[in-house]
């Protein structure tokens, strides 16, 4: 059976054809270049027919991971002006069965099929192979999903979530200042406001409002931000260590991510591990390994010894969402 799978995000839409668990064709498109997912899917299938031939590009089933809540096989994408309806998409694409799942539902299932080469451990002990698992990560937005072992089915079941949109809780004076800065800009401040691509730029903007931090930004950084994406500039300068303000911004990002991941680890007693996915984390392994992430993860007072045992992993596989969507399609 030929299966169409997708990882549909605010920045990019990744589509692929899988047969018997192996990828046979894939493409990635900038999501904002298209008016709808229907248009993306039609372009993809057209290119697949040209590359593989008409008889080899007729998927019988599709599973699409979408960055937004799913309601009865429809979804209003959180960071795009798209409303996706699986039944209408079936009619447009002539695919008999299309299933929509949350993108971090897909990422969570993808985690269950990854090997050691696709993961970088960021501290903690050994994982319980059937313990609860947390999967979270930042990109255009902030995703979360959870896995619980089913003894009857002998496999993990996914609980999807929109927990990235809960209220941001500061843990120190610097984060309290950040919260106040963001309240002035947005009113309500969620974790996604901090832990996302736009959040990186906002953290830097907050630092530039602080008299003690403003002089730390270099002229090179300021000039680059005029012509480049601010998030990309901040990450690049922080990794190179050439701009102290960018280094502070990314350490704040890493610490906030670690604090949230630790909260989720406590909430679900995630002895199966906490997995950090998304588009940003794989670009900053050196920052996540410098101690700020794990220190914040474990800073849970009396429960530090418990949380210290829970392993955290950086997901380095670039297509974990596609793998998860393919796994879900195989279950359907």
Q: Which residues of the chain have pLDDT under 70?
A: none
> Which of 151, 147, 119 has its CA nearest to residue 264?
147
Looking at residue 1, its pLDDT comes to: 86
Looking at residue 306, its pLDDT comes to: 97
What CATH architecture is 2-108+320-331?
Answer: 2-Layer Sandwich (3.30)
Looking at residue 71, its pLDDT comes to: 93
Give the model confidence (pLDDT) of 62-91 as tens digits. 999 999 999 999 999 988 999 999 999 999
How much is the pTM? 0.93
Looking at residue 20, its pLDDT comes to: 85
Looking at residue 222, its pLDDT comes to: 96
> Which of 142, 12, 138 has its CA nearest to residue 68?
142
Looking at residue 55, its pLDDT comes to: 86
The owner of tokens 């297509």 is 319
Looking at residue 58, its pLDDT comes to: 93
Looking at residue 45, its pLDDT comes to: 96
CB-CB contact of 115 with 323 (8 Å): no
> Which of 55, 133, 36, 46 has its CA nearest to residue 64?
36
**Sequence spans of domains, the chain:** 2-108+320-331, 116-316
Looking at residue 156, its pLDDT comes to: 97
Between 3.30.360.10, 3.20.20.70, 1.10.10.10, 3.40.367.20, what CATH number should domain 116-316 receive?
3.40.367.20
């Amino acid at each position: 059976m030929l299966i169409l799978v997708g990882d549909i995000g605010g920045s990019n839409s990744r589509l692929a054809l899988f047969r018997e668990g192996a990828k046979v064709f894939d493409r990635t498109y900038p999501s904002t270049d298209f008016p709808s997912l229907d248009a993306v899917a039609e372009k993809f299938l057209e290119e697949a027919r040209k590359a593989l031939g008409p008889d080899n590009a007729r998927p019988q089933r599709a599973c699409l991971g979408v960055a937004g809540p799913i309601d009865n096989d429809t979804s209003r994408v959180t960071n795009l002006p798209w409303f996706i309806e699986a039944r209408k998409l079936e009619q447009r694409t002539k695919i008999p069965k299309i299933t929509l799942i949350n993108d971090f539902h897909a990422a969570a299932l993808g985690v269950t099929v990854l090997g050691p080469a696709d993961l970088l451990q960021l501290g903690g002990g050994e994982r319980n192979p059937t313990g609860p698992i947390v999967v979270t990560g930042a990109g255009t937005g902030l995703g979360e999903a959870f896995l619980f072992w089913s003894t009857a089915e002998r496999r993990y079941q996914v609980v999807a979530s929109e927990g990235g949109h809960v209220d941001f809780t500061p843990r120190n004076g610097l984060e309290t200042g950040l919260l106040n800065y963001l309240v002035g800009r947005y009113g309500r401040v969620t974790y996604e406001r901090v832990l996302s691509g736009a959040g990186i730029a906002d953290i830097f903007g907050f630092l530039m409002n602080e008299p003690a931090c403003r002089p730390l930004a270099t002229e090179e950084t300021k000039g680059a931000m005029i012509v480049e994406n601010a998030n990309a500039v901040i990450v690049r300068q922080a990794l190179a260590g050439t701009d102290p303000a960018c280094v502070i911004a990314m350490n704040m990002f890493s610490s906030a991510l670690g604090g949230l991941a630790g909260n989720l680890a406590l909430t679900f007693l995630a002895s199966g591990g906490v997995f950090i996915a998304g588009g940003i984390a794989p670009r900053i392994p050196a920052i996540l390994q410098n101690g700020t992430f794990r220190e914040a993860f474990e800073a849970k007072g009396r429960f530090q010894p418990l949380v210290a045992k829970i392993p955290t992993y950086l997901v380095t596989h670039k297509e974990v969402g596609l793998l998860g969507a393919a796994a879900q399609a195989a279950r359907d």
